[in-house]
Amino acid sequence: MQPQYLSSSFTCQNCFKHFTELAILHCSRWNGVSCSKRHPNRVVSLSLQSQGLVGSLSPNIGNFSFLRIINLQNNTFNGPIPQEMGRLRRLQMIEFSNNSLGCGIPTNLSQCINLYYLNLIDNELTGAIVPEIASLVNLQSLGLSDNMLSGTFPPFLGNLTDLFQLSLRDCGLQGAIPQSLVQLRRLRLLNVIDNDLTGSVPLGLYNLSTIEVFSLAYNRLNGTIPSFTLPNLKTFHLTSNHFTGELPASISNSSLIEIINLSANDFTGNMIDFTRLSTLRSLVASASNFRGDIHTILSSLTNCTSLRKLSLANNHFTGSLPNSIGNLSRQLNILSIDRNQLIGRIPSSIGTLIGLSILSADTNDLEGPIPWSIGKLHNLQEIYLRGNRLTNEMPMSFGNLTLLNFLLLKQNNLFGSIPPSLGNCTNLSLLDLAENNLNGSIPPEIMRLSSISIGFNISHNVLMGAIPSEVGALRNLVELDMSHNRLSGNIPTSLSSSIMLSWLVLSSNSLQGEIPDSLKSLRGLQYLDLSHNNLSGMIPRFLVEFRLLYLNLSFNVLQGEVPILGVFQNESAISLEGNQNLCGGIVILNLPSCPSSPKSKKNGLGKILIPTVAAGALCLALAACLCVIMYKRRSFQNVGTPVAIFQMPELLRLSYSDLLSATDGFSETNLLGEGRFGSVYKGTINDDDEQTDVAVKVLNLNNLSSTQGSSSSAIKGTIGYIAPEYGMSYVASTQGDVYSYGVLVLEMFTNRRPTSDAFEGCLNLQDFVSTGLTDRVMEVVDPFLHQELNVDEKYWDCFVSILRIGLRCSKQLPRDRMLMAEVVDDLKKIRNVFPVYKNGRNVASYQH
């Protein structure tokens, strides 16, 4: 019988409540519940492991006074372990591993004097290992691994003399291993991996004859390994410490040993003789400063018929690989001998290691051909032979390795063609053949391997011909490098199917034609290098939309305008030199300005003027006010009543014909000033027999002789007002118009022209305004505004706001300037906060 509250939604609070109420009546009918034979209504065992149970442990558990075994392993219980468990005097076994129990180890467990098994591994317990544990004198197995404990390694654990398993892996212990542990004469397993233990290991631990598992890895222990007698030793794990000295030959006496892991230490001298260790399954001794002849070591391992893993990488082994390598265990799965000083050939006898799945011999001095027999290793998944002096052709037998996942042969002297048989390796995900002398064409067979996803690198060879169109089959490929070859023809449009590419390098070939527009589908590109080819045409505009971190198009025959957005904004991220016909781009590139044909000027200007004039019209109210101020500055005579310029009730609406009449048809006699951004005319408006002088500004037009709405055919640029990117000639842009507008705003409010002699060296109008804007605004603003007009202090915020608009519009880089829509919005806000009036009458002028 399994009650409802033992389902996946069961909570332990309910569990123990119902147990205490119902156990007497229905004890034997509960799944996972066992009752006493002498006392049928008394629960003696709760075995509820792997039931998907959740919740916290109820204090009611303390009511099960006859309970001997409680197993809640592999559930999701959380919260503290109840102190009430200390009432369970008959309890012998607590198995709570693989839950989420928290808080500290309950001190009341010390009252469970019959407890011999306590496993709290893989929970979230905190605090120190409580000294009350020492009261559990019958304890034989203590597991506290994989918790969040703290403190030092407690010496009182040495008092648990019946202990045969002590597992304290990754539980936050610090300090030295206590000398008291040598008292644990029955200890079979000592696991303190991955803590922060320091100092030397007590010598007595090396003579505990019962030890089977001796695991001290991933600490900061030091000292030498003494000669020892551990006849029952099966696992000797010392990885990632600071042990020094030579390995004791006495290890060879531990004839039952299966696992030796000595990696990442500072040993010296030679390896031991492994001839007597016939049960050895794994030997890992990489990066430990060992020396010796590889021939001797491998020959002594041929008697280890169960050997599955052999790693001797990153040491100082010398000599050549013996033919006896073929006598190693047929069960050998991993052979790693990379980063040593090995010489000679790879013996053909390696083909007998039929269990091999990983072969790694990188960065040695191996030479000669890759043996044909390697094709017999049908279980091979990874081959690493980089950084040697291997020669001859790649064996066709590579095609037999249908499980092959990684093939890395970079930095050798291989020559000949790439074998088309590689097309049979349908599980290949990484192919690196770079920096060899491979020639011929790229076999289309390998281009069809859609499994290649991590990388495809055939750079720095002498491959010729076109890039096969089959490259489009590499749909999952992330990195493609075919640089430094002799490839020719066009970049295949089918490459657009490789939509996962983030790294594409085709540099230093003889590719020609345009960069295909189809590559716009490669939106994940971050690194693109097409340099040193013969590519022509324009730089594709779609590159602006990519999130490129690096772009190299140098030394081609590209022409036309360089974009100024996207990656092209960052001079350090792009390389364009060696293309003689490029123009435009950001200023720092120092490219010539792009010439414009008359037709393109007219058409382009018309497209720019329409939105610019429309946006300018929206700025009408404030701009008119500014122009009035400009004109009054020049014609102002002592007036009895000062002009209050920031308040006005209702706007006076004027038509275009009114302005045409007021300016005598925009005659030159009424022209007050002319600049790159526009022209300002004096106008006289008659209203109710009263004359009002205004200044009318015309945006972006040079010629108003026609009133039919035609566009100007050219723009007169005035030094100081034209955008820096225009240079001596330019293609009109809205960003350029915004720049000129900003300069004009600054001039109006400062009464300083951008070409003033006051600005020498690197100083310009923008610098003058910017440096004084925070605390010297009265020195920046035209004295006319605050002396003659008696402007109150509260209006300085208005001046600062308008000057900031001028500065933001006249930034050096186009991308940093405001949009005209933003200008309109900001000016509207200023106008609403600071309304304008003149002599009690509203004035406005229309801009065209």
Assess whether pLDDT exceeds 50 at residue 770.
yes
Query: How large is the angle between the packed helices 598-618 and 734-750, nearest 10 degrees?
Result: 50
8 A C-beta contact, residue 307 and residue 328: yes
Look at 605 and 459; give whichever has higher pLDDT: 459
Q: What is the pLDDT of residues 799-837, one digit of tens each?
A: 888 888 999 899 888 878 888 888 888 887 777 766 543
Mean pLDDT of all residues in 526-533: 97
The pLDDT assigned to 769 comes to 84
Query: For 662-666, 777-781, 806-810, which range has the lowest pLDDT when averaged over its residues?
Result: 662-666
Taken in order 387, 393, 397, 400, is the CA torsion positive or negative? positive
Q: What is the pLDDT of residues 187-242, one digit of tens each?
A: 999 999 999 999 999 999 999 999 999 999 999 999 999 999 899 999 999 999 99
Query: For 440-454, 663-677, 723-737, which range has the lowest pLDDT when averaged over its residues?
Result: 663-677
Mean pLDDT of all residues in 33-40: 76
DSSP string, 647-675: --SSPPP--HHHHHHHTTTT-GGGEEEE-
Q: What is the pLDDT of residues 62-87, one digit of tens each?
A: 888 889 999 999 999 999 999 999 99
Give whichever of 206-210, 707-711, 713-717 has the largest mean pLDDT. 206-210
Residue ranges covered by each domain of the chain: 393-592, 598-833
CA atoms within 13 A on the CB side of 623: 24
Mean pLDDT of all residues in 395-405: 97
Q: How far apart are CA 170 and CA 657, in angstroms?
A: 88
Assess whether pLDDT exceeds 90 at residue 567.
yes
The pLDDT assigned to 828 comes to 79
Which of 172, 86, 164, 179 is CA-nearest to residue 128? Answer: 172
The pLDDT assigned to 279 comes to 96
Tokens representing 28? 């034997």
Q: Is 37 annotated as a binding residue?
A: no
CA distance readout (Å), 406 to 388, 403, 609? 17, 9, 59
Q: How far apart are CA 101 and CA 97, in angstroms?
A: 9
pLDDT bin (cut points 50, 70, 90) of residue 704 is very low
pLDDT bin (cut points 50, 70, 90) of residue 650 is very low
The pLDDT assigned to 31 comes to 78
Quick one: what percent of the chain has pLDDT higher than 70?
77
Question: What fold, for 393-592?
Answer: 3.80.10
CA distance readout (Å), 345 to 73, 350, 370, 720? 54, 11, 8, 74
Look at 793 and 172; give whichever has higher pLDDT: 172
Mean pLDDT of all residues in 572-589: 93
Q: What is the pLDDT of residues 423-469, one digit of tens each?
A: 999 999 999 999 999 999 999 999 999 999 999 999 999 999 999 99
Q: Strands, DSSP E only, in 321-422?
A: 334-336, 341-344, 358-360, 365-368, 382-384, 389-390, 406-408, 415-416
Look at 14 and 400; give whichever has higher pLDDT: 400
The pLDDT assigned to 821 comes to 81
* Cα radius of gyration rounded to whole Å, the chain: 42
CA distance readout (Å), 464 to 407, 410, 460, 474? 22, 19, 12, 20
8 A C-beta contact, residue 445 and residue 468: no
Assess whether pLDDT exceeds 90 at residue 344.
yes
Q: What is the pLDDT of residues 48-61, one digit of tens each?
A: 999 999 999 989 88
The pLDDT assigned to 841 comes to 36
The pLDDT assigned to 819 comes to 87
Q: At a CB cut-off of 8 Å and minimum separation 6, what does 568 contact? A: 543, 544, 551, 562, 574, 585, 586
Tokens representing 41? 């209504």
The pTM assigned to this predicted structure is 0.68
Question: What fold, for 598-833?
Answer: Transferase(Phosphotransferase); domain 1 (1.10.510)
Name the region of 176 (left: φ>0; alpha: ψ -120 to 50; beta: rest). beta
Look at 613 and 773; give whichever has higher pLDDT: 773
Assess whether pLDDT exceeds 90 at residue 539.
yes
Tokens representing 132? 């009350």
8 A C-beta contact, residue 569 and residue 524: no
The pLDDT assigned to 32 comes to 78
Query: Beta strand 100-103 with 76-80: parallel, antiparallel or unpaired?
Result: parallel
DSSP string, 521-589: G-TT--EEE--SSEEEEEPPGGGGGS--SEEE--SSEEEEEEP-SGGGG-GGGEE-TT-TEEEES-GGG
pLDDT bin (cut points 50, 70, 90) of residue 14 is very low
Q: What is the pLDDT of residues 102-161, one digit of tens each?
A: 999 999 999 999 999 999 999 999 999 999 999 999 999 999 999 999 999 999 999 999
The pLDDT assigned to 693 comes to 63
Task: Report DSSP state, residue 788.
Answer: I
Tokens representing 40? 């049928």
Q: Which amino acid is at 288?
A: S
Mean pLDDT of all residues in 490-502: 96
The pLDDT assigned to 702 comes to 38
The pLDDT assigned to 605 comes to 39
Query: For 74-78, 479-483, 702-706, 783-787, which range has the lowest pLDDT when averaged over its residues?
Result: 702-706
Assess whether pLDDT exceeds 50 at residue 544.
yes
8 A C-beta contact, residue 43 and residue 28: no
The pLDDT assigned to 767 comes to 81
Mean pLDDT of all residues in 464-477: 95
Query: For 22-26, 173-177, 401-405, which range has the lowest pLDDT when averaged over its residues?
Result: 22-26
Q: How far apart are CA 423 and CA 415, in angstroms?
A: 19
Average of per-residue pLDDT values in the chain: 83
Assess whether pLDDT exceeds 50 at residue 651.
no
Q: Long-range contacts of range 553-556, CB-CB < 8 Å, 24 or more positions apart?
A: 553/579, 554/578, 554/579, 555/531, 555/579, 556/530, 556/531, 556/532
Q: What is the pLDDT of residues 260-313, one digit of tens each?
A: 999 999 999 999 999 999 999 999 999 999 999 999 999 999 999 999 999 999
Mean pLDDT of all residues in 632-660: 45
The pLDDT assigned to 10 comes to 39
pLDDT bin (cut points 50, 70, 90) of residue 798 is confident
The pLDDT assigned to 846 comes to 29
